[in-house]
Amino acid sequence: MIDLLKAVVLGIIQGLTEFLPISSSAHLRIFPELFGWGDPGAAFTAVIQIGTELAVLIYFRKDIWRIANAWVRALFQPEWRGTLDARMGWFIIIGSLPIVVLGVLLKDVIERDFRNLWIIGTMLIVMGIVLGIADRTSRADRPIGKITLRDAVLMGAAQALALIPGVSRSGATISMGRLLGFEREAATRYAFLLAIPAVVGAGLFELKEIPHGHNDFGWGPTITATVVSFVVGYAAIAWLLRYVSTKSYTPFVVYRVLLGAGTLALLGAGVLTA
């Protein structure tokens, strides 16, 4: 029962933070440590992210179906190859390659060294500042329809930085999108779509670790956390897309810097263990 209650709390944290540019993996590392629960493990973190990505699949189901349909048609019908949806399919595939390749090659480093709280606290601050600069200096005049192969490669490379907890998958992709001049909503929407292959793939890849003692929870709590993260995550998507259509990312920048600084201070005081 205690593990189930912990799983519910972690599922809520995952659902609230996965889509906001504040790093869900950092929160799933910092807050369990603050609560005295220890590190829930990279496998648990990766698997419950499937819940939030399921929320993306359902929320953007029309966009995903349109893109997938156009991409498949373009393979056999030349007249479809110049459409935005067909090109978007290729851009998502190409943009996913950096994080997939590096995720496989650096698996042990990611699960061991990158989960150090000193690294996480530092990255929260650094990437928060990057997000703030990108948001303030962006021309903000490009809609998603203006995306090019170069943009897809650069945003895919930015997303790969999220292998380091504290960076934030959406935060890194949005920062690059803003630096490339995309509107806030366009950059945010593309960040959600680009994350689907990487997050679902990572979650499925880590499923085998759940029953073998490489995480602090078994199947029951892991499934519970995944379901909770789906429900909370779906609500978070709708809220964030409405928010960024009229407001800046400044509150997230401030929160990241404060959380990162607080984490480093608690580590220095010996309250947290890296």
pLDDT at 216: 60
Count of C-beta atoms within a 10 Å radius of residue 149: 12
Looking at residue 198, its pLDDT comes to 82
Q: What is the DSSP letter of 247?
A: S
Residue written as tokens 């997938």? 68
Q: Identify whether the C-beta of residue 175 lies closer than 8 Å to the C-beta of residue 158.
A: yes
CA-based torsion, 256, 135, 251, 27: positive or negative? negative
> Is 182 strand, coil or helix?
strand
Residue (of 181, 254, 264, 268) closest to 21 by Cα position: 254
What is the per-residue DSSP string for 49-66? HHHHHHHHHHHTHHHHHH
3-state secondary structure of 154: helix
pLDDT of residue 210: 58
Question: For the whole prediction, is pTM greater than 0.85?
Answer: yes
pLDDT tens, N- to C-terminus, the chain (274 residues): 567 888 899 999 989 998 899 998 899 889 888 888 877 777 777 778 888 888 989 999 999 999 999 999 999 999 998 899 999 999 999 999 999 899 888 888 887 788 899 999 999 999 999 999 999 988 777 888 899 999 999 999 999 998 998 999 899 999 999 999 999 989 999 998 998 888 777 777 766 665 555 556 677 788 888 899 999 999 999 899 899 888 889 999 999 999 999 999 999 998 888 7
| Integer Cα distance of 225 and 202 in angstroms | 16
Judge whether 137 and 269 are in contact, CB under 8 Å: no
Quote the CA–CA distance of 218 and 222 in Å, as a whole number. Answer: 6
* Number of neighbours of residue 81 by Cβ within 10 angstroms: 14
Residue type, 187: A
Among 165, 115, 118, 123, CA closest to 263: 118
Task: Phi first, then psi: give them for residue 182, nearest 5 degrees.
Answer: -80, 150
Q: Are 45 and 209 in contact (CB under 8 A)?
A: no
The type of residue at 264 is L
